[in-house]
Structure 1
Amino acid sequence: MRIHAPMTGIEPISGKRYSANSPETQLWIHITGWHSVLKAYEVFGPGPLTPEEETRYWAERAEEGIHHLLWTPRSNGAGMSYYVGSRLLSLASIALLPKWMRTLGHFDRPGIVDIAVAPPAKSLVWAFTRFDKAGLLRAAPFIAPMAGRILAQHIEGAPPARLETTTPTAARERYGMHGVSKAV
C-alpha cells in the first residue's frame, strides 16, 4: 500500500483522477494478477485447464477474496478497531449485494437480517454526519486505518506531482524496481 500511495494523478483519456490504491484500480490489479497466475500455470505448467477447472479456479479465488474482505481475520495485525470495524461494515455491505453474489460467495443470510441492519447503519451515518460533514472521514482511520488515510488523501485531491501516465516499465525504472518480474 505504501509503494502505491504516491501513485496518483489524472488519467489523460478520461481526465478523471486515479489512485493506485483506489478500489477500482485494486480490483483491476487483483483480477489481472489472478489471470497472470492462471496463464503462467497454463503456459509453463501442465497446460490449459478445462472449462470446468477454470470456472472452479475463478469461483475459489472469488470466494476466498470475498470472505477475507467481509470477515477480516483478527490475526492480520491491523488492530482491534479494524477487526471490529470490518465486521460491522460487512453486516451493512452484505445487505447491498445481490442474491446471486451471496450464493456464489457462500455468505448469504436470511432477508430479515438485511432489514434489521438498515436502521442502525443509517443511524450511524446520520450521527457521524449530522453536525460534521466530514464525520465519516474522521471515523474511517479508526475503522480501517489504511483505507482512511487513502480516502483522506483522495478527497483532499492534492494535485499529482506529474501530469503523466507512466507505463509499468517506466515505473520500475523510476522507482528502482528493476528486479520485479513482469506479469505473463
Structure 2
Amino acid sequence: MLGFKTRAQLASRFEAPADNGFFGPGSVTWKVWSHPTSYVLGFARAVTIEHLDPNLTAAVVQAGGVKYRPHTRYARTIRYFGMVAFGASEPTAKAADVLVKVHSKAIGHDPVTGGRYDANAPSSQLWIHMTAWHSILYCYEKFGPGRLSAEEESQYWRECARAAELQTIDPATVPRSREDVIAYFESWRPHLASSEAAQDMVDFILRLDIALPPDLAAWKRVALKPVLFFLRKGIVATYPGYVRKMFDLKQGRLTDLLVSPPNKAIHALLHRSLNAYFRFVGMMAPAGVPIVAPAKLGIPAVEQRTLTPREAQEAYGFDVPAEAHEDMRRKQRARVFDEHGTPSDEGLLESQDHIGGLAPRR
C-alpha cells in the first residue's frame, strides 16, 4: 500500500464479509479491537501474561511452534482472534470448530505442576480468553482514547461472554463487569507460576520482531527498531508488580512514565491516519488485515445480520465446542497418556485452510 490512498481506494482492495459476524457495527468490540493499540500492545500483553499458567507454558514449549515458526504462529493466532471479533459467522464458527481439533493434540505432562495439561480444558480456555479481552481493553485505555463509558464497558464484557461461546468455556463462568474481571485475576494468582521456560518464552515474545514477516526488507527492520523499543517498554509498563517479579523484568516506574507519551503519540497517529494504520498493521499483523479491514473501512456486509455463536453453531451444523470432536480427543489422550506416544497432526493440518498456513521451520 505505497502512497496515499483514499478510504474508497483502500476499501477496493478488500471483499465484503458475508455478514457482520457476532458483533457488527456499533458494537464496543469493533470499536476497541479495531483500535491500533490492539495489534502489538494488547496482543503481546495477552500472550505473555498467558504464560503464567504453567499448563499453557508446557503446551507451548512442548509444541515448539512459537520458537520454530514464530511468524506463522503469531499470524495464525492473530488471524483467529481477528475472526472472532470481526469475521463473518460461518467461517469463524468453522475455524473455532477446527481449533478444538488443533487443541486436541496440545495435551501432555506439565513438568512444573507434575500433572497433565489439556488445551481444551475450560479453565485453560477461559484464562486465554480473559487475558486477551482484558489486555486489549487495558491497552486501549492506557495508550488509546481512555476509559469507556460505564454503559460501553458493560456492553464490552457482555460481548466478551458472547465470544466465549466459540471456545470450550462455560459462558456462565465468564466475568461480566470490571469488578468481576479483577476478582477473576486475583483468584488465579495462587495458580500462577513462572518457570525458566516461561521467562524464556516471554523474553522471546517481547523482542516483538518475531511478528515481522521473514521477508521484510532489512531497512524496514532497522527503521522499526525505535518503534519496537517503545512498544516493548509500553507492554511492560502495563504489567502489575507481581507479574514483573515473576517474569524477572526490572523496568522501573520512571521508565513506565517516560514511555507512555511516545506510545500514545504513535497510536494517536495510527488512529487518525488510515494509510498509516494499514501500513503499520500490514507489517506487524498482516494476517489480520483482511479480517479487520471491512470493519475499519466501513465496508458493508453482504447480509446485514449478526448471530450469536450458539446460533451460528446450530445453523451451520457445528457442535458446541465443549462437546465437539470427543472421539478424536479421546483417541489423542489414549495415544499420549496410555500408549506414551505423540498425538496426530490431523486437526493442525486441517486448520491451514481456516486459520492460516504452516510455514517451514526456521
When the two structures are superposed, what TM-score results if normalisation uses the length of structure 1? Answer: 0.51
The aligned counterpart of 1:140 is 280
AA aligned opposite 1:77: P
Question: Does the C-alpha gap of structure 1 residues 146 and 122 become closer, same or farther in structure 2, counting only changes over 3 Å?
Answer: same
Task: Name which of 66, 69, 81 aligns with 1:22.
Answer: 81
Picking from 49, 57, 63, the partner of 2:114 is: 49
CA-CA distance at 1:41 after TM superposition = 3.2
Q: Does 1:63 align with 2:199?
A: yes
Q: Aligned match of 2:232 in 90, 94, 103?
A: 90
Task: Using the TM superposition, name which of 109-118 and 73-82 deviates more.
Answer: 73-82
Give me the whole-angstrom Cα distance separating, in 1, the residues matched to 2:293 and 2:346: 30
* CA distance in 2 between partners of 1:40 and 1:99 (Å): 31
User: How far apart in 2 are the matches of 1:108 and 1:23?
Assistant: 32
Structure-2 change in CA distance of 1:21 and 1:99 (3 Å): same
Match of 2:263 in 1: 121
CA distance in 2, matches of 1:121, 1:59: 30
CA distance in 2, matches of 1:108, 1:24: 35
Check conservation: 1:137, 1:151, Cα contact below 8 A.
no
Residues 294 and 300, structure 2, Cα contact 8 Å, conserved in 1: yes
- Check conservation: 1:63, 1:105, Cα contact below 8 A: yes
Aligned pair 1:107/2:249, yes or no? yes
The answer to whether the aligner puts 1:180 opposite 2:346 as a matched pair is yes
CA distance in 2, matches of 1:109, 1:49: 32
Report if the CA contact (8 A) 1:140-1:148 is conserved.
no
Deviation of residue 62 (structure 1)? 3.6
Deviation digits for residues 99-120 of structure 1 (CA, Å, limit 9, x no counterpart): 1111111223121111110111
The residue aligned with 2:108 is 40
Q: Larger RCO: Structure 1 or Structure 2 (Cα < 8 Å, ≥ 6 residues apart)?
A: 2
The one-letter code of the counterpart of 1:100 is Y
Q: Distance in 1 between matches of 2:192 and 2:270?
A: 42
Please, what TM-score do these two structures have when normalized by structure 2?
0.30
Give 1:140 deviation, angstroms.
2.6
Distance 1:78 1:64 in 2: 25
Q: Establish whether residue 77 from structure 1 lines up as the match of residue 217 from structure 2.
A: no
Distance of aligned partners of 1:114 and 1:129 in 2 relative to their CA distance in 1, 3 Å threshold:
same
Residues 41 and 59 of structure 1, relative CA distance in 2, 3 Å threshold: same
Percent of counterpart pairs with the same letter? Answer: 13
CA contact 1:137–1:148 (8 Å) conserved in 2: no
Partners of 1:99 and 1:24 lie apart in 2 by 33
Cα deviation for residue 23 of structure 1 reads 7.3
Shift of 1:21: 1.6
Supply the distance in 1 between the matched residues of 2:240 and 2:302 (Cα, whole angstroms).
Answer: 36
Cα distance in 2 between the residues matched to 1:180 and 1:154:
33
Identify if the C-alpha distance between structure 1 residues 102 and 62 changes in structure 2 by more than 3 Å, giving closer, same or farther.
same
Query: For the Cα contact (< 8 Å) 2:207–2:232, is it kept in 1?
Result: yes
Shift of 1:94: 1.2
Q: Distance in 1 between matches of 2:269 and 2:230?
A: 16
Give the number of equivalent residue pairs: 151
Structure 2: any 5+ residue segments left out of the alignment?
A: 1-16, 24-28, 31-77, 85-98, 116-190, 329-343, 349-362
Q: Is the 8 A contact 2:20 2:301 kept in 1?
A: yes
1:79-126 CA distances to partner (integer Å, 9 max, x unpaired)? Answer: 354673544321211111211111111223121111110111122223
Instruction: Tell me if structure 2 keeps the 8 A contact 1:63–1:106.
Output: yes
Distance 1:151 1:61 in 2: 33
- Secondary structure of the 1:127 match is helix
